[in-house]
Each structure stands twice: as structure tokens, then as C-alpha cells.
Structure 1
Amino acid sequence: MSQTPKERLFREPDGTRTGLLWLGFAVAFYAIHLYYSVLKETDSVIGLVLGTVFVITAIPEVLPSDRQRLAGFLRIASIVVAVGALVFLIT
């Protein structure tokens, strides 16, 4: 069953389990950033950016079921931040 982008973005939140999975990814990328910044003394901005994207992705998944619109806007925000970071890193 195919969904339109609007249906996919503004769907009901997936739940706490999915949100915690995304938060786990965020913690991992923040740890990577910390490792390279402190121990290797290099500037690893990609870990920081990806950690932030995963945090923004996790927030809509832990919202109550009746917050579909807010969840959709947060999903769009995570896409915008990810694309913006990609453009920033490429240029």
C-alpha cells in the first residue's frame, strides 16, 4: 500500500520504542563527536550534526497519538536540518 508524502510525514507517532532507538543513535554520534574532538583533537562536525538530526527525529516518535501535525512538522525539520548539513559539508 503506497502512501503519499503527506500521509507518511503526518502519520501517527510510532511510539516510545522507535523514539528510544533514534535517541540511541544520537548518543552514539555524540560519542563519536566527543571522541574525535577530545581524544584525537580534530574537528568532527559530522558526528554533532548527525546526533542533532537523530534527536530531532526521535522527538516526534515519543509524542502522544493526537499530535500528528506537530510530529509531521518535526519530521520535516529533521529533513531540512539533514539536507542543510549535507549542503554545508559539501561546500
Structure 2
Amino acid sequence: MSFNIRDIVFSEPSGGLYPIIQFTISLFLLVFYVYYGILLDVPSLNLLIMAVGFALAGAAEFLPTERRRTAGVLRVSAILLLIGLLALIVFAPEILFRG
């Protein structure tokens, strides 16, 4: 059973409950970002980056089935954004955690 990354990333958007869950997670992360950033005056860039990543992935799954390439670009963007967040946490945590 072999698979190709291109077939997985550029597959048809799934729709259904999956994007709703991703947008809900993104909304919660944005609420936490506002709570920590505005009310507690603690910068939390990592929450904002995760919220945007989940929103991009959710948007990819909400697209019509014939928009495979656009969904793939949104998925790749979300993956790169979240990998970039992991790289920041590992190699430059002082950028994210200036508290």
C-alpha cells in the first residue's frame, strides 16, 4: 500500500464536521489570545499563529470539491505555519515568550 504526498495534500476537501471543528478550535485560540494579550497584558504570539493555522486548514476543507489545488495550497500553508511555530519554540523561544 503505497501513497503519494501529493495525493493526500491535494485531495478533495472533505467538508462535513471536520472543518467546523477546526474553525471552533481556531475561535477558541483567538479568544485565548485576546484574553491573554489584552486583558492580562501578556503577549501570546503562539496562540495567534495556531489560530491562523487551524483557520487555514479549516478553510481548505470548506471549499467545493473541484477546488483541489486551492485546498492543497491552504493545507500546505497551514502546515508550514505550524512547523514554523515549532521551529520558533525550539530555536528562538525568546521571540514567543517575552513575559
TM-score normalised by the chain length of structure 2: 0.82
Q: CA deviation at 1:2?
A: 5.2
**SS in structure 1 of the partner of residue 78 of structure 2:** helix
Provide the identity percentage: 26
Question: Which whole-Å CA distance do the structure 1 matches of 2:69 and 2:88 have between them?
Answer: 28
Q: Which moved more, 1:59-68 or 1:31-40?
A: 31-40
Q: Does 1:26 align with 2:12?
A: no
Q: Unmatched 5+ residue regions in structure 1?
A: none
CA deviations 1:43-75 (Å, max 9, x no partner) are: 111111100101111111011101111111111
Q: Unmatched 5+ residue regions in structure 2?
A: 93-99
Equivalent in the alignment of 1:51 = 51
How many correspondences in the alignment? 91
Matches within 5 A, 1:1-91: 3-90=3-90, 91=92
Question: Which whole-Å CA distance do the structure 2 matches of 1:16 and 1:61 have between them?
Answer: 8
TM-score normalised by the chain length of structure 1: 0.89
